[in-house]
Amino acid sequence: MRFMSMRFTSIPAHVKRMGAALALVACTWLPGAAFAQGILMGSADLDGDNVAETVYNNGSYITVKSTNGSSYNYQTTTGGWGLLNGDFSSVKDLDGTPGAEIPINIGPALKVINHNTRSSYNYQMSGSWAASPNGITDLDGVAGNEIAIVASDSLRIVHHRSRSTASQPMSGTYAIAVYGIRDLDGQPGAEIPIANGSALRIYNYRTRSMSSLPVSSGSWAICNDPGIPNCVSDMNGTPGAELVLILPNYISVYSYVTGSMSNYSINAQYAILSDGVRDFNGTAGHEIAVARNDGHINIIYPRLGNVQLINGSNTFGSWWSLLNYANLDGVAGDEIRVRNNGTARNYRIYPRSGSVVAE
C-alpha cells in the first residue's frame, strides 16, 4: 500500500506585507566573445523565433547567448539570487507574447527578464517571501502564466503581462496544495486551493474572489500527492475538477462548482492507492481506490455517491501489494491486480462486479 504524503507551500515566518513597486531595469549588450561563458543554467526560446537561447549564470549577472553568437547580460544582484523555484522549469511564458521569460529571486525583489525586449522588471518584495511550487501557471485564462507568491499575511499574484500584482490578505497558518492548482470551475484558468486552519479556501484570480468552507477543527489535508496524479480531477462527470480531502476515518470530495462537500466513511485507517484515482466503471468521472488497514479495499464513486467494499478474505488477504491497473475484461474501466504477500499468488479485482479472481 502507498501511504499519502502531502506537499504544501510552506509559509515563510516573520513576513511583512509585500510592496507593489515596479521598476524597469535595462540590460547590457555584449558581443559574443566578450564574456566568460559561466555556468550553464538551461536553454529555451526566449525571443519567440523558435530557436532556443542558452542561459548562463555569471555570478552577478545572467548571460543569454543566441545561436548566432551574440549575447546579452542581465544584471541580477551582488548578493544571493536564484531561479524561481530553484530550477530552469520556472522559465515560462509570462506575458503572452512569443518567448519565455526568466523569473529570479534576488532577495528584496522578484526580477523577470524579458529577452524578447532586452529588458527586465523588478517586483519589489519586503521581508521573506516564496513562490509556490507549481504556482507558475495560467490563472486567468488569458495567454501568459501568472506567478503565485506566498507570505504569512497574504497571497500575492504577479501578473507580468500587465506588470502588476494583486494581493489577497490571509490570516492564520495556511498552505497551498501545490499539486492542486487546477481548473476547478470548468472556466479558463486554474484556481488555488488552500488549507487555512479549519477551513478550505479557494482563490479564484480570474474573478478576484476567495471562497471559504469549514472542514474540521482537527487534522485534515487536501490530497495533492504527485504519486496520485488524479487526486484533483473530474470525479462527477461535469466540467471542473473536484478536491479530495483526507480526514481521520473518512474522505471528503469537494465540488467548487456546486460548493458541496460529500463525505465517505471508511471507519478504518486508510491510504489512497498509488495512482488510485482513476476510471473503474467506464463512466465519466474518476473513482477513488482506498486500502484499509484491515486489508480490505474501498472504492468511492463520487458521481454515484456511494462506497464499495472489496473483501479480501480467502483471496488476496490482509497482507497484499498493488501490482498494477489494467483493462482486463475489454469493457471500459480499469481492473486492479494485487498480490497476496503470504501465498505469492496474484488476484484480479473487478470493481464493476465486486468480484475477485485468482490468476
Average pLDDT over residues 49-64: 96
Question: pLDDT tens digits for 162-190?
Answer: 999 999 999 999 999 999 999 999 999 99
Please count the other Cβ atoms lying within 10 Å of the Cβ belonging to residue 10. 12
pLDDT for residue 293: 96
16 pLDDT higher than 70: no
Calculated CA dihedral for residues 326, 278, 223, 192, nearest 10 degrees:
140
| Fold that domain 227-359 belongs to in CATH | Lipocalin (2.40.128)
For the chain, the domains span: 227-359
Question: pLDDT tens digits for 234-293?
Answer: 999 999 999 999 999 999 999 999 999 999 999 999 999 999 999 999 999 999 999 999
Average pLDDT over residues 304-332: 97
Name the residue with higher pLDDT: 23 or 174.
Answer: 174
- The contacts of residue 2 (CB under 8 Å, 6+ apart) are 227, 271, 272, 273, 274, 276, 291, 322
Q: In what order do the strands lie in the sheet with 154-159?
A: 130-137, 146-150, 154-159, 164-169
Contact indicator for 274, 227 with CB cutoff of 8 Å:
yes
Contact indicator for 5, 271 with CB cutoff of 8 Å:
no
pTM: 0.88
Structure-block grid coordinates of residue 284: 465519466
Q: Say whether 89 sits in a helix, a strand or coil.
A: helix
pLDDT for residue 316: 98
Average pLDDT of every residue of the chain = 90
d(CA 213, CA 180): 17
Question: pLDDT tens digits for 72-131?
Answer: 999 998 888 999 989 999 999 999 999 999 999 999 999 999 999 999 999 999 878 999
Q: How confident is the model at residue 321 (pLDDT cuts 50, 70, 90)?
A: very high
pLDDT for residue 10: 41
**CB contact burial 184-204 (16+ within 10 A = b; e otherwise):** bbeeebbbbbbbbeeebbbbb
- The contacts of residue 246 (CB under 8 Å, 6+ apart) are 4, 6, 220, 221, 222, 223, 272
